[in-house]
Structure 1
Amino acid sequence: MGVTDPAGPVMDRDEVDRALARLGQEHEAVETSLFALQDHAGRRLLEGAELTGVTKERWAAAEASITLLWTCFDAYTDALREAREIRSRRRWSSREDLVELTGLLRGESVTVAGGASGSAVLSESFTLAALVDRMNELYASSLDMVVAADAVWSALPARIDLLAAELQRTRRLAHSVGVRPGEHPSGDDLEGITATLTALREDVVRDPLAHWVPAGGGSAPGGGRPDTTVYDREARALEDVRREIEAVLTVRQDAEERLIRLRDVLSRADRTLAEARTARGEVLAKIAATEVPVVSGPPTVLQEQLATAAEYRRQARWHRLSPLLESLEQRAEDELLRARESLTAVTAPLAVRAELRGRLDAYRAKVTRHGLAEDRLLIERYDAARRMLWSAPCDLRVAEQAVWRYQQAAAELLAPPRVPEPYAPEDGTRDDMGDGE
């Protein structure tokens, strides 16, 4: 067992050489990482940015950690250089050299000013292995903050700028069709999206970590993703507005054709109502004892709205024309349907009279084919029904009864004669005359 000191057993020459080689590799790795952190684009951006909020607080802590990290690295470098100088004094290190090297390589031989945590402690001592662990902790926490900020800056501002460019194109398009703030809801939406995107971009630039969602668990430095919740919401809102604007553009392209169709539908409705009014006069003159519905005139409000729609088209007020056309198209179809229903209701008595005339003539033709046209009863009832149906005014209820009586008489004459039932004696035997034995 070798002689011991506060650092443990005294290392032999081979142990010292292996320790120096390992520490040299760790030194190179730490140095490479430090220079990479120093040159990281995110760190440079953080140094030059006017930060606010959580990013400002975390960057102040990260800067202190990076400063302390370099202090630790310098102390580590000095200790490693001193150990190498002692080892290089002679090829075969003396006992005193090995004791000194053991203290440097294994003992708390490195003193870092300001303490490893950046607290009020004036200094703190470390072994070289513990100092490496501490530098790794400081590096990981600093890199996590730098990578997160850089990820947000790399992702969100560019996407916000692209969306803002699309927003400007949509605003110009909206302006061309009269969609403006205060005049159309979509114009107000565009103003709101513009204000939100402007504020969002400024906030992302000044406080990127407020828009960072860290990954859970023990993830590597920079584990997480940018928070795009607000951006995604505004992107969807802009898409909704864009579809609304496209609908207005469609109105601009089809407005004249739709107005022509509207005029045609309303004209057909007016003609149908005029026909119904004429038919009502005819029914009142030709049909007696029946209720004929009154035919109302065409609604003037539709014509007024149609004139307003034409004026909107002339003034290129497409955003106002769009909902008005949709409403007018539905109401015009309803008006045409109402006119047709009025005509049907008014002419119903004439249709009943026509049906009775057709039925009377059909039975007349039938009895004629059977050679019964000269039957006096049929002639009398036919003449009575015909006088009622072809005279004005016609009482439909009386005429229907007359037609029914003619049908009954015709049906009785056309019915086949009844064959008498054969005689059956009371005892149930048949009297089969002519069937002798």
Structure 2
Amino acid sequence: MDRDEVDRALSRLEAEYEAIETSLLALQDHAGRRLLEGAELTGVTRDRWASAELSITLLWTYFDSYTAALNGAREARARRRWPNRDDLLELTEALRGRAVVIAGAAGQRPASLTGPAKLSERFTLAELVARMNELYASSLDMVVAADSVWSALPARIDLLSAELRRTRSLAHSVGVRPGEHPAGDDLESITRELSTLRDQVISDPLAFWRPAPGSSAPGGGRPDTERYDRAARALEDVRREIEAVLRVRQDSEERLMRLRDVLSRADRTLTEARSARGEVLAKIAASEVPAVSGPPTALQERLSTAAEYRRHAQWHRLSPLLESLERDAEDELLRARESLTAVTAPLAVRAELRGRLDAYKAKVARHGLAEDPVLIERYDAARRMLWSAPCDLRVAEEAVLRYQRAAADVLVPRGPGPADRRGDS
């Protein structure tokens, strides 16, 4: 090397020295490294930190040797402004040769990286820089990964645990307790999971680290939040269920009043249907009248149970009971109305026949034919059948039809038939 090459090499090595020193000091002061030093580690983090500690110790050993070699080269260069051949040979060896000797185990990286230890190892300054960069990158990667997990997960777990405590308090206030309600059991399960998860994250953060595929940068990856996310979703499901129970507590009295009203209407409708059935049997002959069931006693008993749940603030039991009662009560009212309709169908048929008979009588009267003896006779026959009890609807309908046909004949006279025309001729 000539003088200019020596000066350029020294300048480059000094710049590298400053960069390495800055990086090592930053690693030394890194919050993640300090946490790792004081933590009781387990699992993969414990193993990797043991290796990283050796790497960091080795880094400083390498750096001290690098510093000593660089200082020696600076001193050799500073002896003369214009170095002679012997000086240049010495500087060339110092700057490019394997002049740095690191003896014994201090010169070895962890055995898992290099295999069996050597008695000593020689480096050029460039090789030493490359070795330090390699050890620094692996150490920093481990420290950054652990720090990222610790920065992300414990705080989120603590926030979720606080939300869990609020939800448990709310659940207890509405009677949702373990062993009595599935949501209470879920809260216990989530509590255990969050406690276990936090302990594992604190002691083994690297178990919750997912490196980015293909990334070579230190700390390339992200914390694995799958278990946390699953617990958060489970808590959200429970919270919605508790809110549903709370809504029951707030509007339960109004819903119970509506249920009583619906069941009362169903009962009145069935009473009306039973009364109508008696009337039909007495007034309509030869008619199939369906039976009418009794009042909905089973629903009344369940309604009493719901009221009891409300008095004792058993909201978690009241909620599903009210939902099923509301469906069944509406079904019961519909069934009562259908029963009334079926029972009163013969009376509706009789009323329709009466209306039809009177409508035709009024039409005949408007045309001045009310005194027609045939119409009077057929009207009276149909009226006796429709206004007498029991009424045979089939016979009464035939009588109304005969009156309709007679009225039609009078209102629209038919033309003479062939026999009439022969008589006229």
* TM-score by shorter chain over 0.5: yes
Q: Is the Cα–Cα contact under 8 Å of residues 309 and 321 in structure 1 kept in the other structure?
A: yes
1:391 to 377, 385, 388: 388
Q: Hey, what's the Cα distance between the residues in 2 that align with 1:420 and 1:314?
A: 86
How many residues were matched structurally?
A: 411
One of 28, 32, 54 as aligned partner of 2:18? 28
Give the C-alpha shift of residue 416 in structure 1. 4.5
Name the counterpart of 1:165: 162
Residue 149 (structure 1) aligned with residue 146 (structure 2): yes
CA distance in 2, matches of 1:159, 1:242: 18
Is the 1:52–1:207 Cα contact (8 Å) retained in structure 2? Answer: yes
More helix by share: 2
What is aligned with 1:255?
252
Shift of 1:370: 1.0
Distance of 2:150 and 2:289 partners within structure 1: 79
Could you give the per-residue CA deviations for residues 90-114 of structure 1, whole angstroms, max 9, x where no partner exists?
Answer: 2222222211111111100111233
**Match 1:102 to one of 77, 87, 92:** 92
Q: Give a deviation string over 1:389-411, Cα, whole Å, max 9, x none.
A: 00011111111111111111111
Match of 2:110 in 1: 118
Q: Which of 374, 377, 381 pairs up with 1:380?
A: 377
Q: Equivalent of 1:313, from 310, 314, 322?
A: 310
Report which stretch shifted further, 14-23 or 392-401.
14-23
Given that 1:116 and 1:134 are in contact with CA atoms closer than 8 Å, whether structure 2 keeps it comes out as: no
Unaligned runs of 5+ in 1: 1-10, 422-437
Shift of 1:145: 0.4
Q: Distance in 2 between matches of 1:160 and 1:334?
A: 47
Q: Which residues in structure 2 correspond to 1:273-422 (within 5 Å)?
A: 273-418=270-415
- The answer to whether the Cα contact below 8 Å between 2:51 and 2:110 also exists between their aligned partners in 1 is no
SS at match of 1:222: coil
RMSD: 1.3
Structure 1 length-normalised TM: 0.92
Distance 1:409 1:318 in 2: 71
SS at match of 1:182: coil
Deviation of 1:417 (Å): 4.7
Query: Per the alignment, in what secondary structure is the counterpart of residue 124 of structure 1?
Result: strand
Q: What is the alpha-carbon distance in structure 2 between the residues aligned to residue 306 and residue 348 of structure 1?
A: 32
**Within 2, Cα distance between the matches of 1:54 and 1:417?**
111
**Which residue in 2 is equivalent to 1:15?**
5
Residue 349 of structure 1 deviates from its aligned partner by 0.6
**Distance in 2 of aligned mates of 1:249 and 1:118:** 61
Secondary structure class of the residue paired with 1:225: strand
Give the residue type in structure 1 aligned to 2:110: G
Deviation at 1:116, TM superposition (A): 4.2
Letter in 1 for 2:159: L
Residue 226 of structure 1 aligns with an amino acid whose one-letter code is P
Q: What SS class does the counterpart of residue 80 from structure 2 fall into?
A: coil
- Which of the numbers 46, 50, 58 marks the counterpart of 1:60? 50
Cα distance, 1:217 vs structure 2: 1.1
User: What amino acid is the match of 2:47?
Assistant: E
CA–CA distance in structure 2, aligned partners of residues 412 and 206 of structure 1 = 106
Alignment equivalent of 1:47, drawn from 37, 52, 55 = 37
Q: C-alpha separation between the residues in 2 aligned to 1:121 and 1:308?
A: 84
Cα distance, 1:121 vs structure 2: 1.7
Q: Which residue of 2 aligns with 1:266?
A: 263
Residues 319-360 of structure 1 deviation map (CA, whole Å, 9 limit, x = unaligned): 000000000011001111111111111111110100000000
1:240 aligns with 2:232: no
- SS of residue in 2 equivalent to 1:112: strand
CA distance in 2, matches of 1:409, 1:52: 107
Partners in 2 of 1:121 and 1:411 — Cα distance? 129
Q: Which runs of 4+ in 1 moved over 3 A?
A: 416-421
**Aligned mate of 1:206, from 203, 207, 210:** 203
**Structure-1 separation of matches of 2:305 and 2:366:** 65
SS at match of 1:403: helix
Amino-acid identity (%) = 79
TM-score by length of 2: 0.95
CA separation in 2, counterparts of 1:413 and 1:219?
109
User: How far apart in 1 are the matches of 2:413 and 2:315?
Assistant: 77
1:158 is aligned with what amino acid?
A
1:132-178 Cα offsets, whole Å, 9 max, x none, are 01100010000000000000000000000000000000000000000
Aligned mates of 2:220, 2:57 — CA distance in 1 = 23
Judge conservation of contact 1:357–1:389 (CA < 8 Å) in 2. Answer: yes
**Alpha-carbon separation, structure 1, partners of 2:403 and 2:392:** 17
Q: In 1, Cα distance between the equivalents of 2:120 and 2:377? A: 137
Q: What is the deviation of 1:56?
A: 0.7
C-alpha contact 1:287 1:394 (8 A) present in aligned 2: yes
Aligned partner letter, 1:66: I
User: Can you list the C-alpha shifts for 1:364-417, whole angstroms capped at 9, x where unaligned?
Assistant: 011111111111111111000000100011111111111111111111111145
Letter of the 1:388 partner, please give it: M
Give the letter aligned to residue 85 of structure 2: R
User: Offset of 1:216 from its aligned partner?
Assistant: 1.3
Residues 331/217 of structure 1: CA separation in 2 closer, same or farther (3 Å cut): same
Q: Report the Cα distance in structure 2 between the residues aligned to 1:204 and 1:69, rounded to whole angstroms.
A: 28
C-alpha distance in 2 between matches for 1:320 and 1:408:
67
Gaps of 5+ in 2: 112-116, 419-425
Counterparts of 2:143 and 2:119 in 1: how far apart (Å)?
Answer: 28
| Structure 2 SS opposite 1:125 | strand
Judging changes above 3 Å, is the alpha-carbon distance between structure 1 residues 420 and 389 closer, same or farther for their aligned structure 2 residues?
closer
CA distance in 1, matches of 2:355, 2:327: 39
What secondary structure does 2:93 align onto? helix
